[in-house]
Amino acid sequence: MNKKWTSGLLFVFFLSILSPGQSQEVSVISISVPVRVFDNNGFVSDLSLDDFTVYEDGMIQKIDALYLVKGNDVARKQAPQNYTPDLKRHFHFIFYMTDFSPRLDPVFEHFFKNVILPGDSLSVMTPVEIYNLSQRALENKKPEKIAEELRSLVRKDIQMGGSEYRSILSELKRLIQAINSTNSTEVDMSSSSTMFTLDNLLERYRDTMIRMEQTRFIDQAKFIDFARRLKKMGGRQIVFFIYQREFRPEMNSSILNRLVSEYQDKPNILAITQELFQLYSTTLNVKFEPIVLAFSDASILFNLIFMHKDLQTEPGIYMREKSEDIFDAFSKVAQATGGVVDTSQFPLEGIKKSVSNSDSYYLLYYTPEFYRKDGKFHKIHVKVKYERECRVLHRVGYFSN
């Protein structure tokens, strides 16, 4: 991840986090749980309060109210205890990309023509900046105009923010080609008349690999701060995290094996070669469970839109896909919040699926027995009585703070 993105996120979304106190004060508080129920025919809209069972930490809870929400309105309610749901929608786009794709163009057009409505809000986070759509712009400008302006900003920022990553990518390829061509311990780099020893090339290659991993850094604290800020906003928080498939240039294993075999008498080369084997197997060193719990606690509907990217092969270079760690981690965030995980060549389909998933849902309220402000995470599980097999999506829990 580009460092500018993480620092920008910290600056705009910084929160002063107060440590949870030691008080075990007993309070009366209601927990809201958006629940989406699907069968093979789509959303199941004819369920009643008696069709749901809510568990907290394995114990059945009494449901106080049920609201069936469609769009921005309550279509039906069963509310022995009346509530006033905040149905205002807040959309957030996060672009985790290093190359702009024209396949994003229809995303902007569709979103402003068919999704966002007066009263909604929108923030867009690019690798270098955060933009907030004003209500005045939404009311006074045509959707096509807003879509084009935002597309231009996102394109510029992705190209600018991803420049360091692309530069590192090119440097890795150049170093691999130079190392592949070595028949002695010295090689003439094509871009310079300076003679570099094989030791130098391998060291530069190792250091460049480390730099690439540093650009993919995920700052746990900033994502948690982001979730807490959205929780304070209230309303319906809908996040689209758009992540682009990644490939990392590596030397073929046959080259590394050749170096080990031919340079047994060169401890420096052997040591660096062993380091490279270890670097190839590294993944993100981030504990994602706190991020998962923070997004669930904030009742954020997190959607992961994974964009495919064509593999560009070059002779002598192995392009390893480096998407699994980030994809797996943010898939868990989506699953924990009831969101969508979509993988396709065309991000528009993922956006449509995510919006459809968020458009209709049941909003359940219950009052936990023996609620205490102890700062602990409490797991929620919802079961549905239904004659056919169905999928039930909801957030996995909340912090009692």
Please give the mean pLDDT across all residues of the chain.
86
pLDDT band of residue 328 (cuts 50, 70, 90) is very high
Phi/psi for 117 (5° steps) reads -125, 160
* pLDDT tens per residue across span 209-268: 999 888 888 889 999 999 999 999 999 999 999 999 999 999 887 887 888 888 888 888
Q: Which of 152-156, 189-193, 330-334 has the lowest mean pLDDT?
A: 189-193
8 A C-beta contact, residue 298 and residue 253:
no
- Taking the C-alpha atoms of residue 270 and residue 108, their distance in angstroms, rounded to an integer, is 51
- Taking the C-alpha atoms of residue 270 and residue 266, their distance in angstroms, rounded to an integer, is 6
Q: What is the average per-residue pLDDT within 318-329?
A: 91
Q: What is the average per-residue pLDDT within 86-96?
A: 95
8 A C-beta contact, residue 46 and residue 390:
no
The b-or-e profile of 129-147 (16+ CB within 10 A means b, else e) is: bbbebeeeebeebebeebb
pLDDT of 185 above 70: no
Helix axes 163-180, 143-161, angle to 10 degrees: 40
8 A C-beta contact, residue 127 and residue 5:
yes
- Taking the C-alpha atoms of residue 384 and residue 49, their distance in angstroms, rounded to an integer, is 10
Q: Where are the beta strands (DSSP E) in 82-235?
A: 89-96, 121-125, 130-133, 186-188, 195-197
Residues for the chain: how many in total? 401
Q: Which pLDDT belongs to residue 16?
A: 31
User: Coil, strand, or helix at residue 272?
Assistant: helix
* pLDDT tens per residue across span 260-298: 888 888 888 888 888 888 888 777 777 889 999 999 999
Alpha-helical segments (H) within 111-142: 135-140
Q: Which pLDDT belongs to residue 144?
A: 92
pLDDT of 3 above 70: no
Task: Domain ranges for the chain, please list them.
Answer: 3-16+32-399
Q: Which of 191-205, 254-268, 380-394 has the lowest mean pLDDT?
A: 191-205
**In the structure encoding, which two tokens stand for residue 262, read together?**
């031919």
How deeply is 234 buried, as exposed, middle or buried, from its count of CB atoms within 10 A (0-12, 13-18, 19+)?
A: exposed
